[in-house]
Amino acid sequence: MVLTIVTIIAGLAFLLYTGLYIVVTVSKPQTEIHRTFRRYLLAMALWSVSAFLLYIDQTRAVFWFRMMSGAGLGAMLSIYMFTRATTKVKNWQGIAVFIISLIMIGLTVFTNLLTESVSVKDGYIIYALAGTTAVVAGPGYILILISLITLVRFRQKSKDPVQRNRLLYIILGILVMIIGSMTNFIPVLGGYPFDIVANSIGALLLIYAILRYQLLDIRIVIRQGLLYSIPTVIIGTVYFLIITLFINIFGLFSKAEVFLTSLVVAVITALLAEPFRVQAQAIIDRIFFREKYDSRIMLQKLSSQTTSTLDLYKITNTILSEVATTMHLPSAAFFFRDEDTGVFELTTQIGLDDLRNQSFRQGHPLVLWFFNQNHPVGRQDMEVLPQFQSLWKSERQLLKDMKAELFIPIKVLSQLVGIFILGPKRSEQPYSSEEIITLTTVANQTAAAIENARLYTAEQSRRKEIDTLYNLSNQLVGTEDLETILNTVTKHTVDSVQGTYARILIRDDNGDYYCQSIYPIKNLIDPLRYRNVEPIVAQYYYDMVLDNELIVVIDTKDPNWHDEEKQAIFINFAKTLCICPLIGTDSKIGLLILGEFHSRKATPFTPSQLRLINAIADYASSSIQRAILHNKLEENFLQTVISLANAMDARDSYTGDHSQRMAAMASQIGLEMELSSKDIETLHWAGILHDIGKIGVPDQILNKKGPLTKKEWVIMKEHPVTGAQIVEPIKYLAPVSPIIRAHHEKFDGTGYPYGLEGNDIPLGSRILAVVDAYVAIRDKRVYSEAHTHEEAIAELRRTSGTHFDPKIIDVFCKTISE
Amino acid sequence: MTDLNTMIEQGRQKEIWIKYLGFLDLSIDEFMDIQERLLLEQIELLGSSMMGRMLLGDKIPKTVKEFRKNVPLTTYQDYHELLDEKKADVLPREPVAWAHTSGRSGTFRWKWAPYSKEMFDSLGESVTGAMILASCTKKGEVLLEPNDTVLLATAPSPYMSGEISKSADEQMKLRFLPSLKDGDEMGFRDRIKSGFKLAMVEGLDFFYGLASILVGIGEQFEKGSGSIKFTAKMLRPDVIWRLLKGYVVAKIKNGKVLPKDIWKLKGIMTGGVDASIYKKQIEYYWGKKPLEGYACTEGGSLCMQAWNYEGMTFYCENAFLEFIPHEEHKKNKEDPDYQPKTVLYNELELGVYELVFTNFHGGIFTRYRIGDLFEVISLRDDELDIDLPQVQFYSRDSDIINLAGFALITEKDIWQALEKTDLDYYEWVARKEIKDNKTYLRLFIELKSVTDLDTKKVEKQISAALREINSDYDDLEKMLGYTALTISMLNPGAFGMYMDYQQSQGADLAHTKPPHMKPTQDQMKNLLGDKKVKG
C-alpha cells in the first residue's frame, strides 16, 4: 500500500463524504432535497474511494478510473436532481434526464467509450480518452452547468437570507467540483490530482456550511465539543512528539529515565499548553462561534456597567450600544411600560431616529403574548402565530419600520416591564439559538437594574411633577395679574418639560386666537408672533383641539401636515409640538403649546410629561380664568368709577370737561418732568378721578354760593379720602389712590386731610394741586369770577413754596400757556 | 416575509401549519381577543370613511359593546346605492378587487363587494389553509408543494371564487387547470372539460369546486362514458405510467377505471349543501373525502372543516362574528321591525343561528345579515382537540320551507331524504303548496332514465326518510294525520331544456339552473315547459 499525499487526500475526502452522507441520512426532516443531496454525497464518496483505490490498486487502474468517471457523472446527475428538488420543478424532463444519465453512467463504467487506457506511474495518472468522450461525458457537464445557473438564479430571487446563504455554499462546492473535474481534459493538468483536491475542498465547504449555517437544517449537537477537542489533540500530539524526541535523541531507555522525562515534559507542556489551549479555543470561537465569543465579553461588561447606576437612559443606552456592537446590529430599542397608562413607550433606541412617539398599547398582541410567555419571539414567529393575526395594519407597519427581528420580554418578578427589540444583523443572518440565549440572558441579567432605574426615574419624575405643580400653584395663587400668570405658566412649562418654547394662545370673543405669552429658550419671540392673531389655517386646527378638549402631539415629520400648515402652527421651530387645551370651569380659554426640539430620548413627550403638561394646563386654566374674571370685574368697576366721575363733573359747578382738562394738564406736566409713561398714565387717571370723593358731599355744600360753615368744611374735606377709598380696590387704579388722597395737601403742611408737608406729599398730588388751583382760578365758580391765565400764574407764583411745590410751579409756568 | 414556496422548500412544515391553521389551536378567549382587536381597527377604519360613518351613526363606537348596541344590523339594501356604482372613495380602504355574487337571492341582480388588499390576501390564505386540511391526515402534516395542480370547477372573476383562485395563486405557485387566464375566457362547462383534459396529462393534486361535478365525472367513469381519449400530449412516460397503473389497479379490482385509479388527489375542497350529501360518493370515485367550507362574496372565507371532515370552525381573522339565535331570528321574521339580539362566538350554544358578520381589514359590510343559517353541532371538537365551537351549514334563510308554521324543511333535509331512497334521480326542486286548505311539501323530480315508477310508493319512501331526518316534519305528519309530501315526476330532459333555455336567454351562471328550494312561478313555468307532469 502506497500512502502518498494524494491517497491521503482522497482517503480523507472519502471519509468526509461518507461522514456527511451519514449525517444527512440521520438528520430530520427528510425531504426530497435531503434525498437528492444524499445521492450526491454517495456519488462523491464513491468517487473518492475510487480515486483512493486508483493509486492503491494500480493493477485495476482502468476500472477504478472508470468508476471515478461514472461516480462523477452520478454526482452531476444528483446535483441536477437536487436543483430540481430545491427549485420545485416538476416536469417529465426529469425522468428522461434520469434515464439517459443512468445509461451514460453505465457506458462510462462498463465500456471504453469514455476511457481507453489508464495507468499510474510515479503517482502520475496516464490516461487516454476515447473519441466518444464528449458524447458520453458532455451531457453530465451540461446538466451541472444548468444546475449551477438555476441555483444561482434561484439564490438571486430568494429573499430568505438563510436560504441565500446556504445556497451560496452549495454553489461554491459545485463550482469547485466543476473546476477540478475540468482539469482532466487539460493534458498538462490531468495527470495531477487537482480534481481530488477540488472535491475534498468541496466536502470541506459543505462541512463548514453545515457546522456554521446548519445547511439543509442539519444541526450537529456535538460539533462544539468536537471542535473544542482540537487543541487537546494538538497538545497531546506535541507531548507525544517531545517524549519520542527525547527518548531518541538522548537514548533514554530505563523506566526511571522515561518516567522522569515524561513527568518533566508533562509539567512543561501543561504549563505552556494552558495558554495555548485558551488561545486555540478562542480562535475556534472566533472562526465558528464568533458571536458567542464576543457575547461572553459583552455579558461581562454589561453585568458590571448596569449595576453601578440608576440612570435609566444610561443603562439602556449602554446595553443597546454593547449589544449592537457585539452582534453587529444597525438598530435596537427598549420599550418600557408606563406605570399609569400601562402603555409600553419607546424609551431608548439606536438606529431608529425616525421612530418617535411610538408605543405598544395594552392590548397589543406582542404585549399580550409576553404576559403569558417568557421566551423571545421573532419577526417570523409573529408572521406565523395566529395570536399576531390581530395586529393592526398600522402596527404591522410600525414593526416593519422598526426592522425588528427579535423581541425579548423584560420581566421582573414575572411582571412584564419592558420589551427589548433587536433589528436585523448586518450579516443578514438570522439569530442563532446561542445568540437568542445570550440576548435573553442580557435581558434577564439587566432586568433588575433596569427596573430599579425605571422605578427611580419614575419616582424622580413624579417628585419633579409635584414640585413643579407646587411651585406653580404657589406663584399663581399670589397673583391675579393675567400677564404674570401667563408668563409664569409658560416659563414653568418649558422648565419642567425641558421644551424649546411654550406659548399660550387665548381665544377671544370673536373666536380668534392671540398669542398672549411666550417663553422661548432662545430668541423666538418675534417669529412666534407674540400678541398677534394666529394664522387662519392654524385656527381651524386649534378650534378642533380646544372644542374637542384633546391633548395632541404633532411630529414635524407627520406626512399629514403640509408645509403651510406646519408654518402656521410653528412646528418648524421644533421637532414635536404638544398642544394642550386650557379649559375653565365654564369656558374654553385657549391653548398651551409646547415645542420640543432637543430630545435625547426616543419619545419627546412621555406619558408622564403629558400628564404634567395637562396638570399645568389645569392649574393655568383656573388661574387664567380667575385673572380674566378679575380683570373683567375691575373693568366694570372702572367703568362705574368713570361714570361716577362724569356724574360728579355734571353735579359740580365746574365746566363739564373740568376733569378731562385736569387730566390733560397733569399729563403734560408729567411729560415735561420726564416721568415714566406709567406715572403719566396714573396722573391722567388722578386728574379724571381726583374729585370723585365729592360724591359723598351734599349738593347744598358742593354748590353753596357763600362761604362754607365749619361743619360744612369738615364734610368737604373728607372728599380726598372718600375718593381714594373708591378707587383703591381697583387694582389698575391703585397708584391713583394716594394721589387723590393728598391732592389737597399744601407744600407747607397746612393742607388736608393729613397735613403732609413737602416731599411727603406724593409727587402726583403736588402736581394735581397746582393744576387744580390753576383750573379753579381760571374757571367761573359760584363763589368767584373767572380769572385770566396771567392772573392765575401770578397767584400760583405767589403761593409757590407755601401752598405749592416751587419746582412744579416752575415747570407748570413754563409748560402751560393760555 | 418568507413566502410559502420557500417555507415548503425549507421543510418548515410546522411553521406553515401554524401560520395557516394555527387558529385551530386557539382557546376561545384568544379567539375572541383577536376578534375584538380587529373589530376595533375596523371601527377606526369605518370611522375614517364616508360610508363607514354612515353605517356607524353619529357616535363612533369605542368598544365592542357600544358597537353592538348602537350600530344597526344591515342588509345589502343599506349598501347597494354606493356599491353598485363602485364608489371607492367612500370606502375605508382602497379596494384592489370587486367581486359580485351570483345574484340568486333576487332583489338585486348582483351584490358587489369591494376587497381591500388585506381581504384579498386573506382569501388566498384561507384557501391555502383549506388545501392543507384537505390533504392532511394528521395535525401538522403539510403535503402542499409548489406547482401542485388544481382543477377549478368554480366561476371566474369577478365572482368571489375567481378572486379566491387569483389570491391563492399569489400565495403559492400553483398550476391551475386550465390556467386562470385561459379559464377566464371559457364558459363554465368548457373550463371544467378543459381542466380534466389537462389533468389527464399534468396530473391532478387538488380539486376545488362543486361536489356534484365530481360525482358526475365519477359516474361517467363508472359507466365507461368517461373513457380516456389518448392525445399526443399524453405520450409521456409519467402519463403512460400513471394511466397504466390505473388500468392495472382497476383490472385487479375487477372494475371500471375510476378517477381515483388514475389520479391520486391530495385534496378536494367543496362548499354548499351538496358537499355533505355527496361525501361518500366522492370518496368512492375520487379516493378522498371532500373538505367542506363556507365562503361568501361579502365576507370571504369564513369557516372550514378540519381533517376529520366533521364540523366547521370559523376563522378568527376574516370577519367579526355575531349570531342571531333562531328564536330571535324567528321573532324578526314575524316582525321585521324587531331588532334581533346577537350573541358572540364564545356565547354559542347548541342550536341554529343566523350569521351576522362585520368585515375586517377595511371591508365595508358591517353587522351584515348574509341570510345564512348555521347549526352549532358541538362546542368543541374532542376528536381533534379543537376548543372552538363547531358548526355546519343549516340553510339559506330564503330556502327554508316552513310547513304549518313549525316544521322547517331545508334543502339538505330533502336531499338527504332522496339519497336515502333508491330513486335514481337527476335533479329536483321543492315548493310549498296549499291544496284543499292543507299544506304540502311538493317535490318535482326528474329521473336519470325513464322508469315506470309507483309514485305513491316513492312518496312514502321519501316521506319516511324525511320523518327520520327532521323530527319537526315527523311531528307535523303525526299531528295533521296525512302525508305532507307529494311528488311529481318531471319529463325526461326537463332540467336540460330549462338550462338550454336560460343559456339562450343569456342568463348568468347562477341562473342556468332553477334553485332547489322555492323556485318562483316563472322558473316553474320554464321548468315544466309543456306542463307534462306525472303525479
| Prediction ipTM score | 0.80
CB-count exposure of residue B172 (10 Å: 0-12, 13-18, 19+): buried
Give mean pLDDT, residues A221-225.
50
Give the best-scoring range by mean pLDDT among A272-286, A779-793, B242-256.
B242-256
CB contact under 8 A, B9 and A163: yes
Partner A contacted by B5 (CB < 8 A): yes
SS3 category, B177: strand
* Beta strand pairing call for A406-412 and A501-507: unpaired
In this prediction, residue B137 carries a pLDDT of 92
In this prediction, residue B532 carries a pLDDT of 46
CB contact under 8 A, A384 and B18: yes
CB contact under 8 A, A390 and B317: yes
CB contact under 8 A, B236 and A393: no
How would DSSP label each residue in A416-482? EEEEEEE---TT-PPPPHHHHHHHHHHHHHHHHHHHHHHHHHHHHHHHHHHHHHHHHHHHHHT---H
Show which residues on chain A lie within 8 Å of chain B, measured between beta carbons.
29, 31, 33, 86-90, 92, 95-96, 158-160, 162-163, 217, 363, 365, 368, 379-380, 383-387, 389-390, 392-393
What is the per-residue burial (b if ≥16 Cβ within 10 Å, else e) of A221-245? eeebeebbeebeeebeeebeebbee
> What part of B 157-216 touches A (C-beta under 8 Å)?
173
Partner A contacted by B118 (CB < 8 A): yes
Q: Which residues of A touch B238 (CB under 8 A)?
A: 92, 95
Q: Which residues of B touch A217 (CB under 8 A)?
A: 10-11
Q: Residue with C-alpha cell 381591500?
A: B116
End-to-end CA distance of chain B: 63
Say if residue B113's pLDDT is above 80. yes
pLDDT in tens, A592-603: 998 876 555 555
CA-based nearest residue in chain B for residue A162: B10
CB contact under 8 A, A163 and B6: yes
What the block records as the C-alpha cell of B416 is 338527504
Nearest chain A Cα distance for residue B362, angstroms: 10
Give mean pLDDT, residues A743-766.
92
Tell me the pTM.
Answer: 0.62
CB contact under 8 A, B18 and A90: no
Q: Which residues of A touch B5 (CB under 8 A)?
A: 88
CB contact under 8 A, A392 and B2: no
CB contact under 8 A, A95 and B147: no
pLDDT in tens, A632-646: 887 787 787 777 777
Give mean pLDDT, residues B9-38.
92
Q: Which residues of A touch B37 (CB under 8 A)?
A: 363, 365, 390, 392
Give mean pLDDT, residues A128-132.
77
Q: Which residues of B touch A92 (CB under 8 A)?
A: 236-239
In this prediction, residue A220 carries a pLDDT of 47
Q: Least CB-CB distance to B19: which of A162, A379, A384?
A: A384
Give the best-scoring range by mean pLDDT among A403-412, A479-488, A572-581.
A403-412
The larger pLDDT score, comparing residue A577 to residue B312, is at B312
DSSP3 helix / strand / coil % (chain B, rounded to 5): 45, 25, 35
Partner A contacted by B250 (CB < 8 A): no
CB contact under 8 A, A392 and B41: yes
Give mean pLDDT, residues B373-393.
95
Give mean pLDDT, residues A211-233.
58
Nearest chain B Cα distance for residue A433, angstroms: 17
Give mean pLDDT, residues A678-697.
88
Say if residue A401's pLDDT is above 80. yes
SS3 category, B512: coil
Say if residue B60's pLDDT is above 50. yes
* Cα dihedral: B398, B401, B406, B409 (round 10): -110
Say if residue B25's pLDDT is above 90. yes
CA-based nearest residue in chain B for residue A381: B15
Partner A contacted by B29 (CB < 8 A): no
| Summary mean pLDDT of chain A | 81
CA-based nearest residue in chain B for residue A99: B237
In this prediction, residue B71 carries a pLDDT of 94
Give mean pLDDT, residues B187-193.
81
Say if residue A653's pLDDT is above 70. no
In this prediction, residue A222 carries a pLDDT of 43
In this prediction, residue B250 carries a pLDDT of 83
pLDDT band at B181 (very low <50, low <70, confident <90, very high): confident
Mutant choice from B13, B19, B128, B142 vs A, greatest count of A C-beta within 10 A: B19
* Cα dihedral: B400, B406, B412, B416 (round 10): -150
> What part of B 63-82 touches A (C-beta under 8 Å)?
none
Give mean pLDDT, residues B275-292.
88
Closest by CA position to B11, among listed A27, A14, A66: A27
Partner A contacted by B8 (CB < 8 A): yes
Q: How many residue pairs bridge chain A and chain B with CB atoms within 8 Å of each other?
A: 86
Give mean pLDDT, residues A202-223.
62
CB contact under 8 A, B18 and A96: no
CB contact under 8 A, A163 and B10: yes
Q: Which residues of A touch B36 (CB under 8 A)?
A: 363
In this prediction, residue B131 carries a pLDDT of 94
User: Which of these ranges, A183-197, A324-338, B265-279, has the smallest mean pLDDT?
Assistant: A183-197
Q: Which residues of A touch B121 (CB under 8 A)?
A: none
Mutant choice from A86, A88, A362 vs B, greatest count of B C-beta within 10 A: A88
In this prediction, residue A2 carries a pLDDT of 56
What is the per-residue burial (b if ≥16 Cβ within 10 Å, else e) of A137-170? bebbbebbebbbebbeebbeebebebbbbbbbbb
What the block records as the C-alpha cell of B202 is 399534468
Partner A contacted by B231 (CB < 8 A): no
Q: Least CB-CB distance to A90: which of B41, B147, B239?
A: B147
In this prediction, residue B214 carries a pLDDT of 86
CA-based nearest residue in chain A for residue B234: A92
In this prediction, residue B292 carries a pLDDT of 92
Q: Least CB-CB distance to B37: which of A90, A385, A390?
A: A390
pLDDT band at B345 (very low <50, low <70, confident <90, very high): very high
Measured distance CA(B364)–CA(B79) in Å, rounded: 9
User: Which of these ranges, A168-172, A301-305, A444-448, B209-213, has the smallest mean pLDDT?
Assistant: A301-305
> What part of B 296-325 touches A (C-beta under 8 Å)?
316-317
In this prediction, residue A90 carries a pLDDT of 64
Q: Which residues of B touch A160 (CB under 8 A)?
A: 2, 6, 10
The larger pLDDT score, comparing residue A88 to residue A426, is at A426
CB contact under 8 A, B316 and A386: yes
Closest by CA position to B105, among listed B501, B526, B508, B524: B508
Q: Which residues of A touch B235 (CB under 8 A)?
A: none
Distance of CA A604 to the CA centre of its chain: 8
Q: Which residues of A touch B146 (CB under 8 A)?
A: 88
Give mean pLDDT, residues A289-302.
69
Q: Least CB-CB distance to B237: which of A95, A363, A387?
A: A95
As a whole-number percent, the residues of chain A with pLDDT over 70 amount to 87
pLDDT band at A590 (very low <50, low <70, confident <90, very high): very high
In this prediction, residue A282 carries a pLDDT of 67
Give yes or no for a contact between A379 and A405, defined as CB atoms under 8 angstroms apart. Answer: yes
Give yes or no for a contact between B514 and B104, defined as CB atoms under 8 angstroms apart. Answer: no
Give mean pLDDT, residues A681-687.
90
Give the best-scoring range by mean pLDDT among A81-85, A450-454, B52-56, B433-437.
B52-56
User: Which of these ranges, A104-113, A519-528, A574-583, has the smallest mean pLDDT?
Assistant: A519-528
Q: Which residues of B touch A93 (CB under 8 A)?
A: none
Measured distance CA(B267)–CA(B284) in Å, rounded: 14
Give mean pLDDT, residues B358-365.
95
Nearest chain B Cα distance for residue A597, angstroms: 31
Q: Least CB-CB distance to A390: which of B2, B6, B34?
A: B34
In this prediction, residue A200 carries a pLDDT of 76
Measured distance CA(B65)–CA(B58) in Å, rounded: 16
In this prediction, residue B534 carries a pLDDT of 46
In this prediction, residue B24 carries a pLDDT of 96
CB contact under 8 A, A387 and B26: yes
| Summary mean pLDDT of chain B | 87
In this prediction, residue B215 carries a pLDDT of 85
pLDDT band at A221 (very low <50, low <70, confident <90, very high): very low
Say if residue A604's pLDDT is above 60. yes
In this prediction, residue B535 carries a pLDDT of 44
Q: Least CB-CB distance to B236: which of A92, A160, A390?
A: A92
